[in-house]
Structure 1
């Protein structure tokens, strides 16, 4: 709801404030964009995951979201970077989760029933998959062929593998969900590199207004997407 500015003095004051604020926002956004560009130019160094875990994520996420004729895969989109950044958030620490017992396994409609926050799920889950891969194939997950990696992921999805205290299906669903988030979230969060996921979907991104292109009966959106940071494809 817009404020009423009937008083001429109030209008002049607000006009001055808006001008100052606009200048601050413009200069602030420029510095922000420059900082993001400088960071993007450097190879990403994972903070939460160690080198082996990060390599696992790059390989596993690529099998879940592979590059094909439709567009780039998880590796090119920087999904592993997104996941590592995600592990540094309140979500990964389970700060908004109810984590008191009892933890009873039951129907899916009961929701999540494990005492592990996302950080624990990944650390234990990755270790469990590596152990299973060496048992089944004599090699770590990254060293396996794409077909063998798919066999492991399929077994996890089907629920036939237990990763220590974590059901394989639970870890698979966590990884798949976060992989899709990394492919299609705003690039500000580390994934969707180059806005490739949005280009693939024809999604306009964080544009302030694209109502002229709603209900166009399947017509392709003619303007490329834009990130919250101002990055364009």
Structure 2
């Protein structure tokens, strides 16, 4: 399975789950809603403001992440690369908010990796995602400088692939302070999220990820299409951003 097929499979699982959930719902259109409950301008979704990073302010970090993301999701005939789709903008805004601060994570001890793996099926980290990126990017850059004598972003695509494959397999070590395999999985997860999230969050520019997969987007009502499974509905994707 190549990188873009991995995106397709992820989207297929999400769409299948949504179809099942929609099929079980028996909601009816509400009428005569009191005007006081209407959406006011301050409740409307607000797209991110582009033009400057809040967390990824170091140009070296930007170049390194761009090199990683564009090998995870490269440009081809199906769509743009991760950075072309705005995945760095997406990640920066996520790291600047509650996600980056680990607001929904348990970050207290004791830390018992074996126990966490057995119970949660994933390792526990006492560091926030923002801190994990800070230490992980430094360690990855240091690895490239030590092994290749140049910046990670300046390595040949084949060499970047080899390092990423080693991180994924757990055969490339970034030192005792950074779990290289888990850091790779974090970057892959965020690249996917940025490519497939609603454009209001900074990624998926022009809804390129949705168009590639045939996902109609954030439409109000899918009930007319619930029974039309396996069909190309020909629906233009809709974003939470007005007129996007």
TM-score range, shorter chain: 0.7 to 0.9
Using the size of structure 1 for normalisation, the TM-score is: 0.81
Using the size of structure 2 for normalisation, the TM-score is: 0.77
Of 208, 212, 216 in structure 2, the residue corresponding to residue 200 of structure 1 is 212
Of 126, 132, 135 in structure 1, the residue corresponding to residue 143 of structure 2 is 132
CA contact (8 A) 1:46 1:54 kept: no
Name the structure, 1 or 2, with higher relative contact order (CA <8 Å, separation 6+).
Answer: 2
Identify the residue that residue 72 of structure 2 maps to in structure 1: 64
| Worse-superposed segment, 87-96 or 126-135 | 87-96
Please report the RMSD computed on the Cα atoms of aligned residues, expressed in angstroms. 2.8
CA contact (8 A) 2:47 2:202 kept: no
Report how far residue 217 of structure 1 moved. Answer: 4.2
Identify the residue that residue 182 of structure 2 maps to in structure 1: 170
Gaps of 5+ in 1: 6-10
Deviation per CA, 1:115-170: give whole Å up to 9, x if none.
21101110000111101111121111110111111111111101122323111101
Identify the residue that residue 94 of structure 2 maps to in structure 1: 86
| Worse-superposed segment, 203-212 or 187-196 | 203-212
Identify the residue that residue 193 of structure 2 maps to in structure 1: 181
Gaps of 5+ in 2: 1-26
Q: Specify the SS of the correspondent of 2:113.
A: coil
Higher-Rg structure is 1
Change in CA separation of 1:155 and 1:205 when aligned onto 2, cut-off 3 Å: same
CA contact (8 A) 2:167 2:181 kept: yes
Aligned mates of 1:212, 1:131 — CA distance in 2: 54
Report how far residue 21 of structure 1 moved. Answer: 6.8
Of 44, 56, 59 in structure 2, the residue corresponding to residue 51 of structure 1 is 59
Q: Which runs of 4+ in 1 moved over 4 A?
A: none
| Worse-superposed segment, 157-166 or 189-198 | 157-166
Aligned mates of 1:215, 1:74 — CA distance in 2: 33
Identify the residue that residue 241 of structure 2 maps to in structure 1: 229
Q: How many residues align?
A: 212
